[in-house]
């Protein structure tokens, strides 16, 4: 996808740019807020803007507000050196779609970029999710696999729903913690692993092909069994 | 009452003054009495001398005339003459029996008793002269003086107690301003100062001195905080670069064994980074940053989420996690931080208990406070070390080898402090209970 990276730290920008290109994205770099604003508001349409919060001249939050008030709806992921609730609230209120504290693993940024770029428009409210022979009815809150009922706890249902909405893409532990539990800290205990192993037991057991897989050092992926 | 030093001082001073009044009174009365008796004795002696002189001049008749002349009004001196053998000759005191010299006697005359001071002197020719002075006036005077001093005694006590109370209240108000400031500072508001009223007196000077000390402490704390967060912040930048490079090399390495070494190095860097992040967060919270996003939060609901998140992991570790939260517990706070507080307490309990342990997360709602606690039935913490478990990097001897940064409970304490909560470590007999008591939302 086409990405705009607004980052003043050239060393970090170089590294990130290369890692994102390696992952198959087209990256345009803007070294400061003014250029970032010009590029983002210009004719070229980007799929996602990766925006550093602290920039010389026009800072990230101001840039974001300006873009949003000009009607630019491109998804924005805000990168920040300080992870405080106040800063995050300010960033999200300014119109950021996601928020990532530095330093982060490239895999984390890639997963979040993927989730953002393919986020369906909000008015397109789905009532049913379907991946292979796995069906989820969002109204009846029921799940079937190959026609057989799968009984889930409410939190397992939300976990599976998030995986299905991001089917075919890696989701990280941090993304799951945020989306399903609203936890924004790094637990020392493997709470995601424990829940995931229960969910896999219910979704995959007895169905030869696995749908939920662990991606080493990144997270999980749900996809049609190949 | 004696918990107030000013009240105690006032009481002691009042008692000392009252005793002084009593002593001065007693002394004054005794001295006055003695002086009056002496004066009376002198008069008696002078009169007796005069009468004796008249007798020497005028003989027996002169003596009797003189006595008749001196028969005066009550209160005046009275006299009598008797033979040396005691037979009365003339005068109201003629029948009294008295030793030679000065003595005390009682005369009953006209149905009234008179206490007398008596002087008996033998005259030539076998006569004895008796001169007496009524001491009633003396007694009256003593009584009046006693009454006067008693009144003064009572007045001293009343004025002393009243003054002491007023003084104590005034000083008490100023002292409570000082302790109120200290409480606010303990609460984390280092900018509070003691209000200085009535400049110039010793309490005001004390307040100024304490305020200057607080300025100094605040400056030191700020520079310490600045230095430690600068260090943590400045170390983050090179560490982040290091992480980037390690990650890059890891991604480019195909050799499996090398790759796994690199990955483990990457994990170490991440652990360091999260340590610095925790130090920075604690510093920010200790500075009171974050209260601006406080909103109403239900501790029972948050506890339910945390409980449900951790239950499967606890079970995998062979431990039981239970929730006791019957009623909503509304507080003002940052839900994210409160969730982290509970998670840290549960992780602490999971890390320090053997398999089979039971861990209870409980929320209790009172009228003024909501308490949140995590208790376990593990080995607990020795009483001497219980207060220190909230210190940064503090670890029990037996836990040194187990993983963990030593910041989990320090973060709990910092989050608690930010929420103006009381954080206690309690002996759960057996095991440890950490209780965080937050003010209930109004």
Q: What is the mean pLDDT of residues B168-182?
A: 86
B251–A19 C-beta distance less than 8 A:
yes
Q: What is the mean pLDDT of residues B338-363?
A: 94
| Beta-strand pair A48-52/A76-80 | parallel
pLDDT attached to residue B67: 80
Among A84, A103, A155, beta carbon nearest to B284: A84
pLDDT attached to residue A123: 58
Place of tokens 């003989």: B59
pLDDT band of residue B74 (cuts 50, 70, 90) is low
pLDDT attached to residue B421: 92
Q: What is the mean pLDDT of residues B38-49?
A: 89
> So what's the ipTM on this one?
0.85
Among A22, A102, A195, beta carbon nearest to B312: A195
Measure CA B125 to chain center: 83
Q: Which of B287, B313, B405, B414 to mutate to test the interface with A (most CBs of A within 10 A)?
A: B313
Sheet containing strand B78-83, edge to edge, reads B88-90, B78-83, B127-134, B112-123, B101-109
A103–B236 C-beta distance less than 8 A:
yes
B355-364 pLDDT, tens per residue? 999 999 999 9
Distance of alpha carbon A192 from alpha carbon A176, whole angstroms: 8
Least trusted range by pLDDT, from A43-47, A199-203, B417-421: A43-47
Q: What is the mean pLDDT of residues A186-201?
A: 90
Q: What is the signed CA dihedral for A41, A46, A47, A51, rounded to 10 degrees? A: -60
pLDDT attached to residue B428: 87
CA-nearest of B286, B284, B249 to B265 is B249
In this predicted model, which residue has the larger pLDDT, B228 or B138?
Answer: B138
CA distance A43 to chain B (A): 32
Q: What is the mean pLDDT of residues B303-327?
A: 95
pLDDT band of residue B328 (cuts 50, 70, 90) is very high
pLDDT band of residue B147 (cuts 50, 70, 90) is very high
Give residues with Cβ within 8 angstroms of A16, minimum separation 6. Answer: A5, A7, A27, A50, A106, A109
pLDDT attached to residue B17: 87
pLDDT attached to residue A177: 94
Among A84, A181, A194, beta carbon nearest to B313: A194
Check: CB of residue B342 under 8 Å from CB of residue B305: no
pLDDT attached to residue B202: 84
Distance of alpha carbon A148 from alpha carbon B133, whole angstroms: 132
- Chain A residues touching B273 at Cβ < 8 A: 103
pLDDT for residue B73 is more than 70: no
pLDDT band of residue A51 (cuts 50, 70, 90) is very high
CA distance A121 to chain B (A): 28
Q: What is the mean pLDDT of residues A169-192?
A: 90
Distance of alpha carbon A123 from alpha carbon B127, whole angstroms: 143
Q: B199-220: b or e for each residue (b if 16 or more CB lie within 10 Å)?
A: eeeebbeebeeebeebeeeeee
Check: CB of residue A47 under 8 Å from CB of residue A117: yes
B404–A188 C-beta distance less than 8 A:
yes
CA distance A185 to chain B (A): 7
Hey, how many other C-beta atoms are within 10 angstroms of the C-beta on B25? 17
Query: Could you say which residues from 251 to 290 on chain B have a Cβ atom under 8 Å away from some Cβ of chain A?
Result: 251, 263, 273-274, 277, 280-281, 284, 289-290
pLDDT for residue B1 is more than 60: no
pLDDT for residue B369 is more than 70: yes
In this predicted model, which residue has the larger pLDDT, B175 or B300?
Answer: B300
CA distance A89 to chain B (A): 8
A134-170 pLDDT, tens per residue? 999 999 999 999 889 999 999 999 999 999 999 999 9
Give residues with Cβ within 8 angstroms of B176, minimum separation 6. Answer: none
Q: What is the signed CA dihedral for A139, A142, A143, A146, rounded to 10 degrees? A: -100
pLDDT attached to residue B212: 92
Check: CB of residue A192 under 8 Å from CB of residue A173: yes
pLDDT band of residue B251 (cuts 50, 70, 90) is confident
Whether B243 has its CB under 8 Å from any CB of chain A: the answer is yes
A103–B313 C-beta distance less than 8 A:
no
**Percentage of chain B with pLDDT > 90?**
28
Q: What is the mean pLDDT of residues B124-143?
A: 86
Q: What is the mean pLDDT of residues B308-325?
A: 95
pLDDT attached to residue A173: 92
Mean confidence (pLDDT) of chain B: 86
A85–B244 C-beta distance less than 8 A:
no
pLDDT attached to residue B321: 96
| Chain A interface residues (partner B, CB cutoff 8 A) | 11-12, 15, 18-19, 22, 81-86, 89, 101-103, 105-106, 155, 181-191, 193-195, 197-198, 217
Distance of alpha carbon A21 from alpha carbon B207, whole angstroms: 65
Backbone phi and psi for residue A215, each to the nearest 5 degrees, phi listed first: -105, 120
pLDDT for residue A84 is more than 80: no
């Amino acid at each position: 996808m086409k990405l705009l990276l607004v980052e003043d730290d050239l060393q970090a920008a170089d590294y990130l740019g290369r890692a994102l290109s390696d992952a198959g994205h087209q990256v345009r770099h803007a070294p400061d807020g003014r250029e970032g604003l010009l590029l983002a508001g210009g004719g070229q349409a980007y799929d996602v803007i990766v925006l550093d919060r602290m920039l010389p001249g026009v800072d990230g939050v101001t840039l974001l507000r300006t873009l949003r008030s000009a009607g630019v709806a491109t998804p924005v992921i805000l990168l920040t050196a300080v992870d405080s609730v106040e800063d995050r609230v300010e960033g999200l209120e300014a119109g950021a779609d996601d928020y990532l504290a530095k330093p982060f693993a490239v895999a984390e940024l890639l997963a979040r970029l993927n989730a953002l770029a393919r986020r369906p428009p909000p008015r397109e409210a789905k009532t049913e999710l379907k991946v292979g022979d796995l069906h989820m009815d969002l109204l009846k809150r029921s799940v079937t696999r190959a026609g057989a009922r799968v009984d889930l706890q409410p939190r397992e249902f939300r976990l599976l729903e998030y995986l299905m909405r991001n089917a075919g893409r890696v989701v990280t532990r941090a993304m799951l913690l945020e989306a399903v539990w609203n936890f924004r800290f790094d637990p020392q205990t493997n709470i995601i692993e424990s829940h995931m192993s229960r969910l896999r037991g219910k979704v995959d057991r007895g169905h030869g092909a696995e749908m939920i897989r662990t991606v080493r050092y990144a997270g999980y992926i749900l996809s049609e069994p190949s | 009452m004696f918990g107030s030093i000013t009240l105690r001082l006032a009481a002691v001073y009042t008692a000392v003054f009252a005793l002084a009044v009593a002593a001065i009174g007693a002394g004054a009365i005794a001295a006055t009495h003695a002086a009056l008796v002496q004066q009376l004795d002198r008069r008696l002696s002078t009169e007796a001398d005069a009468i004796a002189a008249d007798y020497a001049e005028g003989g027996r008749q002169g003596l009797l005339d003189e006595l008749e002349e001196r028969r005066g009004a009550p209160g005046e001196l009275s006299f009598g003459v008797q033979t040396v053998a005691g037979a009365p000759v003339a005068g109201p005191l003629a029948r009294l029996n008295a030793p030679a010299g000065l003595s005390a006697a009682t005369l009953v005359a006209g149905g009234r008793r008179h206490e007398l001071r008596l002087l008996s002197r033998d005259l030539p020719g076998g006569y004895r002269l008796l001169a007496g002075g009524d001491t009633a006036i003396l007694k009256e005077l003593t009584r009046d003086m006693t009454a006067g001093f008693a009144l003064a005694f009572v007045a001293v006590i009343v004025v002393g107690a009243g003054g002491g109370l007023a003084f104590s209240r005034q000083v008490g108000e100023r002292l409570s301003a000082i302790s109120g400031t200290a409480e606010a500072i303990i609460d984390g508001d280092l900018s509070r100062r003691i209000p200085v009223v009535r400049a110039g007196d010793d309490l005001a000077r004390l307040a100024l001195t304490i305020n200057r000390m607080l300025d100094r402490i605040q400056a030191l704390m700020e520079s310490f905080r600045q230095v430690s967060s600068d260090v943590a912040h400045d170390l983050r930048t090179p560490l982040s670069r290091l992480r980037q490079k390690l990650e890059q090399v890891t991604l480019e390495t195909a050799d499996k064994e090398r790759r796994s070494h690199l990955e483990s190095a990457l994990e170490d860097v991440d652990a360091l980074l999260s340590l610095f992040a925790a130090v920075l967060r604690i510093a920010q919270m200790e500075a009171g940053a974050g209260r601006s996003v406080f909103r109403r939060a239900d501790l029972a609901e948050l506890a339910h989420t945390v409980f449900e998140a951790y239950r499967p992991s606890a079970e995998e570790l062979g431990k039981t996690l239970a929730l006791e939260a019957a009623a909503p517990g509304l507080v003002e706070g940052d839900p994210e931080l409160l969730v982290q507080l509970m998670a840290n307490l549960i992780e602490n309990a999971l890390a320090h208990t053997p398999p089979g342990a039971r861990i209870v997360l409980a929320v209790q709602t009172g009228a003024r406070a909501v308490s949140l606690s995590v208790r376990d039935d593990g080995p607990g913490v020795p009483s001497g070390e219980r207060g220190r478990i909230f210190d940064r990097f503090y670890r029990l001897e037996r836990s040194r080898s187990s993983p963990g940064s030593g910041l989990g409970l320090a973060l709990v304490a910092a989050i608690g402090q930010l929420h103006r909560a009381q954080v206690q470590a309690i002996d759960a007999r057996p095991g440890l209970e950490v209780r965080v008591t937050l003010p209930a939302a109004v």
